[in-house]
């Protein structure tokens, strides 16, 4: 949780304008890569918007993992088992105000993310997607139909998500100067 949110009274945080679920590929990527963009998006959010990450509470035992698996049924961590992942992630999608899916830089289909988008779409939860137009996700007809909007960058998608669920004045988001460079370094660009 960002410092600006930690300083809010508990009652104010409970009255947030909305909850954004941060969907995106995990399998095959490093823990650092899948957590980085989610942490930055959480930190740039105005104090009145909360985020939910499928990776919350897992850094204790997944930090340093170079290639994330589909699940971790072999370790004594029920939340990272296949059943635990499915239960909490689908619960988060069902309770959120909006789903923000970061599909930028992906070259293979993200099965879990697509399932989450399907659940959100069925529940009529707004979906905002970041995906390059010529990518596997950006050009797919299912993504095009389910997403309320598709943007080529995560920054644009995040800004639109904030404007979509904000009930008051929208403040400009303050991104770290090195955000694009760090994300590109993960993807070998």
73-122 pLDDT per residue, tens: 556 666 666 677 788 888 889 999 999 999 998 888 888 899 999 999 99
Domain boundaries, the chain: 3-186
> CATH number for the 3-186 domain, one of 3.40.50.450, 3.20.20.140, 3.40.50.1580, 3.40.50.720?
3.40.50.450
Residue that the structure tokens 């072999």 belong to = 74
What's the half-sphere exposure (Cβ side, CA atoms, 13 Å) at 13?
Answer: 13
In this prediction the pTM is 0.82
Q: Sort residue 153 into left (φ over 0), alpha (ψ -120 to 50) or beta.
A: beta
Percent of the chain exceeding pLDDT 70 equals 76
38-74 pLDDT per residue, tens: 889 999 998 889 999 887 766 555 656 666 555 555 5
């Amino acid at each position: 949780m960002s410092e600006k949110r930690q300083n809010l009274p508990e009652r104010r945080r409970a009255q947030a304008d909305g909850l954004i679920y941060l969907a995106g590929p995990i399998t095959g990527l490093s823990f650092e890569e899948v957590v980085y963009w989610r942490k930055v998006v959480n930190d740039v959010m105005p104090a009145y918007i909360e985020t939910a990450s499928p990776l919350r509470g897992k850094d204790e035992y997944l930090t340093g993992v170079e290639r994330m698996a589909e699940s971790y049924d072999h370790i004594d961590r029920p939340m990272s088992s296949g059943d635990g992942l499915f239960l909490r992630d689908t619960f988060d999608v069902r309770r959120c105000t909006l789903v923000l899916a970061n599909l930028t830089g992906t070259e293979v289909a993200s099965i879990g993310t697509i399932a989450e988008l399907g659940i959100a779409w069925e529940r009529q939860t707004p979906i905002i997607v970041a995906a390059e137009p010529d990518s596997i996700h950006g050009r797919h007809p299912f993504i095009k139909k389910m997403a309320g909007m598709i943007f080529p960058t995560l920054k644009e998608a995040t800004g639109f998500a904030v404007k979509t669920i904000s009930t008051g004045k929208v403040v400009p988001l303050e991104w770290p100067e090195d955000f694009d460079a760090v994300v590109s370094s993960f993807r070998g660009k």
